[in-house]
Structure 1
Amino acid sequence: MVQEGHSQLGEKRAWWSQVRFWSVAVISITLLCACFIVSSVVTYHFTYGKTSKKLSELHTIHSSLTCFSEGTMVTEKVWECCPSTWKSFGSSCYFISTEEDFWSKSEENCVRMGAHLVVINSKAEQNFIVQQLNESFSYFLGLMDPHGDGKWQWIDQTPFHANVRFWHQNEPNFSAEQCASIVFWNPGKWGWNDVFCDTKRKSICEMKRIYL
């Protein structure tokens, strides 16, 4: 009888031990699941909350955006966008004006749209831009010589290197013409020309792609 009692007591202890083990396991798994859910919710609201706020701010300037996916991870830049009426090339978006204005007013118009007058950094960029232009018009660039001393400056402080100069032959040629435009001259060539800043011309705005 004593041995039987000891046997039953051992079985009960083993049973309670298993119950405690599985109870702890279930509670631990439940807590881990809860932490994962909370973390996911916080990450979602942090990421997509910021995106929604940014989109709301952008829509005060641009009525709609054209975007495409760049990645899938939360930590990556998931979307890159341009305003729907702008052209996309490289890491920038471009807007070709339909109205003519002075250089300073043209720059102000670009700034209101979150951009600046175009800065051309390569032959490939120039080739892309001229494909969007009308040969009948001249377009202001974000390039000027503020003191008329031949020290041309880009509006965004990009260094003005000789290897990205696309002046027409014999241009620039007049120190009083302190702003630059891009214009089509025969025989069949687009190039830069120095012009008076207070003449009215069309213009090209540039902004960096918008990442969401």
Structure 2
Amino acid sequence: MKPWVFLVSALAIKTAFVTIYLVALLSQKGDQPTALQQAFTEWRCSSAEPQGKERGWMCCPKGWKRFQKKCYYISDDTMSWAESVQNCTGMGSHLVVINSKAEQVFVSEEIQQSSRGPNFYIGLSAEKVGQWQWVDRTPFNVSAAPETTLNNWNDVRCEHHYRVCEAAAVTV
């Protein structure tokens, strides 16, 4: 048997088991599926990084990108700020909240690869001038802001822009 035939067969079997396991897990009675799980039917799973004795799969909806324990959606259409907030919420997510330099680098690289345009909404806004707050209600910490090294955040007018949504990856 040729090695590539074996690898393709093994991958197909592995994919089938993961799909069956994911479907069984997501359809268990008694567990309330998350809004993200309710919004999507197609998923992409990859092996989770081992943490202690736990091993499993981390899954994101098809078309989303996984980084660490989160899933990210880079939009291909533009909307207003309010529509962007609602769109992400409707998919069981929220506009991205940048928590680390590594996350900022990942999001920046994904945006650059998308070649869609220069402006994307993230989950940072100011209801009053200079009082920035993330959509998850955590205050903006200026001294911890990752944009100081990448210099790619801008305070733009709330017109129609692309958006980056974020949600916790589903672990199975």
Q: State the TM-score, normalized to the length of structure 2.
A: 0.69
Match of 1:207 among 154, 164, 167: 167
Contact 2:97 2:124 in 1 (8 A): yes
Matched position secondary structure for 1:146? strand
Separation in structure 1 between the aligned mates of residue 164 and residue 95 of structure 2, nearest angstrom: 6
Q: Which sits farther off after the overlay, 125-134 or 60-69? A: 60-69
* CA deviation vs aligned residue, 1:60-82 (integer Å, no higher than 9, x gap): 4113111134499xx95733211
State the structure with bigger RCO (CA 8 A, min sep 6), 1 or 2: 2
1:132 is paired with a residue whose SS is: helix
The question of whether the paired residues in 1 share the 8 Å contact of 2:77 and 2:162 is answered with: yes
SS at match of 1:192: coil
Report matched runs for 1:69-84 at 5 Å. Answer: 69-70=47-48, 78-84=56-62
In the alignment, structure 2 segments of 5+ residues that lack a partner are: 1-22
Aligned 1:56-205 pairs, distance under 5 A: 60-70=38-48, 78-133=56-111, 134=115, 136-148=117-129, 150-161=130-141, 162-166=143-147, 191-197=152-158, 199-205=159-165
Distance apart, 1:166 and its partner CA: 1.3
Pick closer, same or farther for the CA change 1:109–1:135 going to 2, 3 Å.
Answer: closer
**Counterpart-to-counterpart distance in 1, 2:56 and 2:99:** 26
Secondary structure in structure 2 of the residue aligned to 1:66: strand
Change beyond 3 A, Cα 1:101–1:56 = closer
Which string of whole-angstrom CA distances, capped at 9 and with x for unpartnered residues, describes residues 108-131 of structure 1? 000011000011111111111111
Aligned residues of 2:45 and 2:60 also touching (Cα < 8 A): yes
Deviating beyond 2 angstroms after TM superposition, the runs of 4 or more aligned structure 1 residues are 48-60, 68-72, 75-79, 134-137
Provide the alpha-carbon RMSD of the alignment. 3.0
Runs of at least 5 residues in structure 1 that lack an aligned partner in the other structure: 1-47, 169-188
Structure with max Cα Rg: 1
- The one-letter code sitting in structure 2 at the alignment partner of 1:137 is P
Offset at residue 165 of structure 1 (A): 4.3
Quick check: 2:104–2:146 contact (8 Å CA) kept in 1?
A: no
Corresponding position of 1:35: none
